[in-house]
Structure 1
Amino acid sequence: MNDHVVDEATEAFVAHRNLLFTVAYEMLGSAADAEDVLQETWLRWAEVDLEQVRDRRAYLVRIATRQGLNRLRSMSRRKESYVGPWLPEPLLTTPDVAQDVELAESVSMAVMLVLETLSPTERAVFVLREVFDVGYEEIAEAVEKTPAAVRQIAHRARKHVDARRPREVVSQSETRAALDSFWAAANGGDIQSLLDVLAPDVVLMSDGGGIKQAAVRPIVGADKVSRFFIGGFGKNRSPIAVGHTLVNGNPALIVHVDGELDGVMAARVEDGRIVGLYYVRNPEKLSRVESETALTLR
């Protein structure tokens, strides 16, 4: 490959890099694995005869999807031995991600967890079709299925996700207000105020990955979740600092204990009350909350 072709290949890859990362991340829920997919995509793209490629964006997405599917299948085996609940790797995102309602919803912790319930092929098809509006013919090439089969998979995956995803899009300010109320009550040891902001059937998932202490199973119910946090904060004698941040395009809390990053907490809110709390403490999943990650649907 001559230098001119290399420059062309590099230019095309760089132009679509944020898109490719977003596709891979939505398929995998892991920034580290998404970066590996990008590396594998580049190695294969560098070998492609560009004169034979009509649509470079579509071709790159196809390569990334195939590499993402391979990685997703191997990740499913890793998750089987994971200690406690597995939560997506949180990303500190730019303000424009939060302003793009469609993108912010698609990468929210709540929706990413719903995607975890799909099979690898269903997840790839759903992400490409519903999030990135890729045509059925292109998806068929990416997942190596017929267009008819892809339509069936897309329909099945959409029905599955629609039954489990949040019922409505909640404003950033409403989510931030609910998190503020939650933290003030938890930090102040006020159980009644916690019960007021938590939905009766709230679910707490905490991810320590076997490295940091966390509940090994989801905690269900406002009373149990309240006592879990009040007990935890009450026993902690170290200074706790909590600040607002934007994680995966949505408001979240970033928690520091004794000056050290302890974790990131995101929430799913319905009717002004928290129905889902997601606390990522695994230090191996916190490298992307120090600097912003650019995401895009285009």
Structure 2
Amino acid sequence: MTFKAAAVQMCSGVNPDKNADAMARLVREAAGRGAAYVQTPEMTGAVQKDRPGLMAVLRDEETDLIVKKASELAKELGIHLHVGSTAIKLADGKIANRAFLFGPDGRKICSYDKIHMFDVDLDNGESWRESAVYRPGERAVVADLPFGKLGFGICYDVRFPHLFRAEAMAGAEILTTPAAFTKQTGEAHWEILLRARAIENGAYVISAAQAGLHEDGRETFGHSMIVGPWGKVLASAGGTGEDVVVAEIDLEAVKACRAKIPNLRNGRDFSLDIAPVLAKGGVTV
């Protein structure tokens, strides 16, 4: 089966209303170019590193503006619309970094909460502690859709290959990693990580990204990308500002790659031994 998929690149600000309008405009452009599946970036609803400012605009899932707008757009355009993520207020005072997938009837098919928290200290002085604000997810998700099986991830998840391997072993042919990658880490690792996840799983990888200098002062890498199961970059955006990239997805290519390199089938369980350290002369210490 073949279909067109699109990755929508945004530069979300701190105002969810403006971000919803930008999302709608770009999603309509993607659908107008023939995309049956459209993905938006991580934190579509608001990019806001100031916690009080973020909490002030947060809503729960039932009343969230981005969730409502995405449902309406999916139904209006007759597409599968994947909100890469948006921040959702939880009852315990924490936040979920939550992805949503809506079907052509506007109904929510599933959601996924980002599992791995971005707790890092970078060379340029950037320091992030997502775990201080967000509640990590605890389950991987694969959606069985009319055009294929779709596995979910969000941004930092891409550095944890066992997540995507589990999804591929469950039948996922398309893996997703919508993101708001920092400029520093993106320049070093973004394309390499996406292509690696595609190659090692013989799967398409679709990654819509945030791009450019945001209202809250952070800078994201952009380069929204669609990668084929052999590791070839099929479509890529630039590093700043809005864009829409579209590529044809052919699930026969997944079958062909997995037949040539059947590593999903060839994997083996193993134990791990820690060898003792030998001193000079071969004496165990």
The normalised TM-score by structure 2 is 0.28
Q: Which structure is higher in strand share?
A: 2
Quick one: higher RCO (CA 8 Å, sep 6+), 1 or 2?
A: 1
